[in-house]
Amino acid sequence: MLSPRRHRAADWYPLHELGFINSSAHDSSIQAKTFSMFNQYIRNLARAMLEWGKPTGSIIVVHLTEDEDNMAAVWACLLSGYLPCLQPVLEKGHVMYITKLFGSATWLASELGAEQITSISADWVAHEAKPDDAILFLTPTCEARSVFFVVPSIETEKVFVKIYASTFNLVESEVSMSDNFFEIGGTSLDATWLKCEGEKQFDLPDIPAIQILKHLVLSSLAHYVDSTHTRRTLR
């Protein structure tokens, strides 16, 4: 059963620019015993997202934890054509990793200017005491509604890999930037296979295979939503 929060978000953003799905929107634990079961859950969740509305570059906010159901939400977003914005429930040190990345802003290109990027770091630091409430955001102006991204540098990707590894309690060797597999909780997620399934089952446009991990998922950490509207729609 999908959370009614999502519909309230859609009321605020009629073009589905922003949507919400979190652990309360689906089973708290998938308890999938096989990759096939896990993938079926992802397909069902992706189908539910598509029933909500045709993707229009929408952002689905996902609470990123160690739970399988939250990781499934990330993959379902990609399969259904939505772009996930990860809202990590991170330990104190992880926030500083991200803050440093955005502080340098070497891989982020934005029409809105560097001054807004700088304010993001301050907001993350302010939220550090309450990581559950922390969310990356950028207040758009009337002149520039979109944010553009460049492919992260190798150094930046390596830092993100470390964040993923520590978030999911993985050793770094289990997280690859070049392979089509992402290991989490002993389950191997084959990005290429999921991509093909998504195109076949849902008639999706072509998605670059592991640009899913190497580009889309990693860059989605830098997609921001206005904090005021976010908190208002979550209430």
Residue 47: band (very low, low, confident or very high) from pLDDT cuts 50, 70, 90: confident
Please check the confidence at residue 81 and state whether its pLDDT lies above 50.
Answer: yes
Please check the confidence at residue 52 and state whether its pLDDT lies above 50.
Answer: yes
Region 197-205 average pLDDT = 48
The per-residue pLDDT for 54 is 54
The per-residue pLDDT for 221 is 32
Please check the confidence at residue 17 and state whether its pLDDT lies above 60.
Answer: no
C-alpha dist (Å) from residue 111 to 83, 116, 138, 139, 140: 20, 10, 12, 12, 10
Using alpha carbons only, give the angle 160, 226, 62 rounded to the nearest 5 degrees: 45
Q: What pTM did the predictor assign?
A: 0.31
Residue 45 or 24, more confident: 45
pLDDT over 70, % of the chain: 0
Q: Is the dihedral of CA 102, 104, 110, 111 positive or negative?
A: positive
Using alpha carbons only, give the angle 156, 221, 200 rounded to the nearest 5 degrees: 105
Cβ neighbours for 108, distance < 8 A, ≥ 6 positions apart: 102, 117, 149, 150, 222
Comparing 81-95, 136-150, 195-209, the range with the smallest average pLDDT is 136-150
pLDDT tens figures, 103-124: 433 223 232 333 333 333 333 3
* DSSP string computed for the chain: ---THHHHHHHH-TT-SEEE--GGGS-S-----SHHHHHHHHHHHHHHHHHH---SS-EEEEEE-S-HHHHHHHHHHHHHTPEEEEEE---HHHHHHHHHHHHH-SSEE-TT-HHHHHHHHHHHHHHTT-GGG--------SS----EE-PPPHHHHHHHHHHHHHHTT--GGGB-SSSSEEEETTEEEEHHHHHHHHHHHH-PPP--STHIIIIIIHHHTT----HHHHHHHH-
Write phi, then psi, for 225 (nearest 5 degrees): -125, 155
The per-residue pLDDT for 49 is 62
Per-chain mean pLDDT for the chain: 41
Residue spans per domain, the chain:
5-234
The per-residue pLDDT for 39 is 59
